[in-house]
Amino acid sequence: MIDQRTSDFLSEFLASPDRDPSVLDRFLLQGPELGRRGAKPRLKIAFFDFWPEFDPAANLFIDILSARFELSVVDNDCDLAIVSVFGTRHREARTARALFFTGENVRPPLDGVDMSVSFDRIDDPRHYRLPLYVMHAHDHVREGATRHFCQSVLPPVPPTREEAANRKFCAFLYKNPNCERRNAFFRMLCARRHVDSVGWLLNNTGSVVKMGWLPKIRVFSRYRFAFAFENAAYPGYLTEKILDAFQAGVVPLYWGDPGVLRDVAAGSFIDVSRYSSDKEACEAILAIDDDYDSYRRYRSTAPFLGTEDFHFDAFRLAEWIESRL
């Protein structure tokens, strides 16, 4: 469900004729108390076992916690260790409190740490649900792929008929070969209407898109549709893949989280698992592609508004962490 403070702020913001996305960014990341708190307590943070591209000095945790604490990032001997799954260095952590974070399809060790943050829908006071796409929305801004953290929250601007016609049909961008469900659907759809595979996997374009969010979003923006299949289907497992498509202004072709409609608005994407067969799903995609008005309705639907759950108000994560220190 959506926090009442967020709901009230969004209603007022979206009703305003002069919407400044930076104002919404500040609210979502730093909360309604921004500028109204007194002296901030000091907090030493250390990060352990994150992915290679992770920047300990500039990330979502730093951004949201800096509104509440005077932060310093250290290598060890900390007040809060934030640990992930890409290594074993966390075993050497010397810390007062430990927070486990993952966007991978692994279960959080609730009994082994003080707090856990993951995509799992777990009803436990030691756990906070944060789908990976929220983390990546922050990364996209930091890397220059998008201008605002809230970009996917704002009502989208659909392409004109001419703009849609000038785009190519569909893009497929993957490196991981281990999801046969994804690979088989690509082959079936590509047999009906050519799909450009622009990554390492099943490449049919003769070139490969560079790594990074900016190249991916730029390439996707040349298409009307893009694959947003997860690596696996698991409840709550909702990664950056669908976000990347939305931020490129394409309609995502999705498969993965069976409860995706709790997070993402119906009518903003195509969930192929909702069809009785892959053949029927392909027929539906082609029918939408052939009908501009149908395509426009998809592109006009705000993906993260009006849903059961809302997770872009990341200041709530900072509140939760503060309450458990």
pLDDT tens-digit map of 53-78 = 899 999 999 999 999 999 999 999 99
Residue 180, class by beta-carbon neighbours within 10 Å (0-12 exposed, 13-18 middle, 19+ buried)? exposed
Average pLDDT over residues 91-119: 96
Residue 213: per-residue pLDDT: 86
**Domains of the chain and CATH, by start:** 4-141+308-324 (3.40.50.11650), 156-300 (3.40.50.11660)
* Spatial separation of the C-alpha atoms in residues 183 and 175, rounded to whole Å: 11
Residue 36: per-residue pLDDT: 67
Q: Give the CA count within 13 Å in the CB-facing half-sphere of 34.
A: 16
Interaxial angle between packed helices 240-248 and 213-220, expressed in degrees from 0 to 180 and rounded to the nearest 10:
50
- CA angle in degrees (0–180, nearest 5) for 118-219-273: 50
Count of helices and strands (H, E) across the chain = 11, 11
Contact 295, 270 (CB under 8 A): no
Dump pLDDT digits (tens) for 253-304: 999 999 999 999 999 999 999 999 999 999 999 999 999 999 999 999 999 9
Residue 7: per-residue pLDDT: 96
* Spatial separation of the C-alpha atoms in residues 185 and 280, rounded to whole Å: 11
What single DSSP character describes residue 35? T
Dump pLDDT digits (tens) for 26-49: 999 999 976 667 789 999 999 999
- CA angle in degrees (0–180, nearest 5) for 188-252-119: 110
Residue 35: per-residue pLDDT: 60
Contact 129, 314 (CB under 8 A): no
